[in-house]
Structure 1
Amino acid sequence: MPRLAKGVLLAAGLGTRLIPYSKEMPKEMLPVFEGVNGKVFLKPVIQVIFEQLYEAGLREFCFVVGRGKRVIEDHFTPDWGFVDYLERTGKEEYAALLREFYRKIESSYIAWVNQPIPRGTGHAVYTARMFVGEDFFVVAAADNVFLGENVALKLVSFSEKHGSPMLAAKRVRDPRKYGVIVGRSVGERIYEVEGIVEKPTKPVSDLANASLYVFPPEIFKAIEETKPSPRGEIEVTDSIQILLSRGFKFYAYESTADWVDVGTWEAFFRAMVLSLKHSGGYNLVADVLGILGDK
């Protein structure tokens, strides 16, 4: 199997659970903390995901966006004049962060695809078919991320070694909120996937699908055959089921790292606190908890 080079970042969701903030500002641009050279900085969650995919060896990216997401395109368009301004005004640390980010952008191929009406994850993936062609590719939901481990790198390494599609997974307390993976263990934190059940009322597993995938190109044919779910969306998990029924083998990697999303204010608050912990800002975490405990 050739090296994986292509990644698709899904950023077309409306973020309705974050209105009014998300009316014009994409939830994927919400910040999380990241430690760099012993200091703590803020980065948009979609940038963190892009940089993890870049570190996993990907150099071709397709962003699936919708109306109101132009700010994402602006963020991924280098502004060297602003870098010069930061340097002139003595803000070298911030200039260095942008220089490194822009270096990654300029050494990548980036395409933009529009999904004007959100019709589910499967349909969002399908919009990138012309970009993908006949290659294996990585898909990442751009509003959630693993902290403390580059799980994309784990998936890419396993997939390249074994030539197989992959899913990221995480143990959760309440499986009823997630699509859960049913499978059998075939190695340390590696499972052969037997099925995926969306938001089960009676949990059949506590291993949640974490919306990070390595897909074969055949996923597009499966998406074409996927019927809308009861909520009227094309679910990519249903498309995976179609491939499983045809003998495709999917494997899941179970990460023990923190998995966070920014889809609700509660989840965003958790993402901020956990990313602050991972960034090395332990004293700031204590300060925040101290403030919350003040009478």
Structure 2
Amino acid sequence: MNVSKLKKGVLLAAGLGTRLVPYSKEMPKEMLPIFEGLKGRVFLKPIIQKIYEQLYDAGVREFCFIVGRGKRAIEDHFTPDWAFVEYLERNGKEEYSSLLREFYSKVESSYIAWVNQPVPRGTAHAVYMAKTFVGDDFFFAAAADNVFIGENVPQKLAELHEKRSTPILAVKRVNDPRKYGIIIGREIEDRIYEVEGIVEKPKTPISNLANTSLYVFPPEIFKAIEETKPSVRGEIEITDSIQILLSREIKFLAYESQADWVDTGTWETFFRAIALSLKHSGGHNIVFDVLEALREK
């Protein structure tokens, strides 16, 4: 039984997705599909829906979506269309109608707010857009184009927060730390670290524990963001805001997930997400079937 006190989640979906142009010019990268297995079948699901449902299953019931220009497809997707469900049922497509019914039921039992970020100014600024929504509560924040496959990591963070009542980062070991925000930490339990520092894209690797853009933040993060100066990239980096809180002796923990994790910001990483989600869905043999069919032609 879920007893998490974390009821609020902020989904960050205002990025421009420039590395996926021309697809992402009008279609949000967060709406790219991945596979999900259910009852022996394999279905496609938008990445942002997968992340929303992980948060929902972790106990979140109040959601704030930070979106920008060209993200209307996300709002449309999270607007129940019961007439279409009935259409599917009339035409004998019960499996698909059942999937939508389950999703729409979750949406209708959630409070959802939409906040527009007209100009992307960094992850910290996107988080700051949810300040009024969050109030004085701890909350989840998640990049809606980063997905864990094979484990509900938000659930793990909720359980850890329930025990420790501290802010938390989800981290993952990577081969090239120069591409990510990297934490320095001391392991205090199996795969749980006390965070001592965090650096965005270090030229000289300080560890290989990468920040995966899934957080449990305290309300104090907003004050830290107000004090965060733009980086050399001209963005307000959330890693700098976290470092401000660390310098004030606000303890952060990091949970190292062993699940597969993908940042779907490029076509290469999106292809990896497709392959990994197909593997976890139980439909990985489909890949070989498709290759065989193409070879025969």
TM-score band, normalised by shorter chain: over 0.9
User: How many residues end up aligned between the 2 structures?
Assistant: 295
User: What secondary structure, in the 3-state scheme, does the structure 2 residue paired with 1:185 have?
Assistant: strand
Q: CA deviation at 1:158?
A: 0.6
Counterpart check, 1:36 vs 2:38: yes
Change (3 A) 1:285 1:132: same
CA separation of 1:83/1:57 partners in 2, compared to 1, >3 Å: closer, same or farther?
A: same
Matched with 2:162 is: 160
Matched, 1:150 2:152: yes
3-state SS of paired residue (2:92): coil
Matched residue, 2:273: 271
- Give the aligned partner of residue 142 of structure 2: 140
* Unpaired runs of at least 5, structure 1: none
Per the TM alignment, residue 161 of structure 1 is displaced from its structure 2 partner at its CA by 1.4
Equivalent residue, structure 2, for 1:184: 186
How far does the alpha carbon of each residue in 1:106-146 deviate from its partner, in whole angstroms, 9 at most, with x for none? 00000000100000000000000000000000000000110
**Corresponding residue for residue 253 of structure 1:** 255
> Normalising to structure 1: TM-score of the pair?
0.97
Deviations 1:124-182 (A, max 9, x none): 00000000000000000000110000000011111121110000000001111111110
**Structure 1 counterpart of 2:227:** 225
- Superposition TM-score, scaled by structure 2 size: 0.97
After TM superposition, give the deviation of residue 285 of structure 1 in Å. Answer: 2.9
Distance 2:227 2:101 in 1: 44
Q: Find the aligned partners of 2:209 and 2:122 in 1 and give their Cα distance.
A: 22
Asked if residue 174 in structure 1 is aligned to residue 168 in structure 2, the reply is: no
Q: Distance in 2 between matches of 1:103 and 1:81?
A: 14
Cα distance, 1:293 vs structure 2: 8.0
| Cα displacement (A) at 1:292 | 8.4
Cα distance, 1:11 vs structure 2: 0.1
What is the root-mean-square deviation of aligned Cα atoms in Å?
1.5
1:235 maps to 237
Distance 2:211 2:296 in 1: 38
Q: Does 1:79 align with 2:57?
A: no
Q: In the alignment, which residue of structure 2 is the partner of 1:286?
A: 288
**Does the C-alpha gap of structure 1 residues 229 and 96 become closer, same or farther in structure 2, counting only changes over 3 Å?**
same
> Are the aligned partners of 1:9 and 1:62 in contact in 2 as well (CA < 8 Å)?
yes
- Give distance in 2, aligned partners of 1:198 and 1:261: 16
8 Å Cα contact 1:277/1:285 also seen in 2? no
Aligned counterpart, 1:102: 104
Going from structure 1 to structure 2, the CA distance change for 1:257 and 1:62 (only over 3 Å counts) comes to same
How many angstroms does 1:185 deviate by? 0.3
Partner of residue 211, structure 1: 213
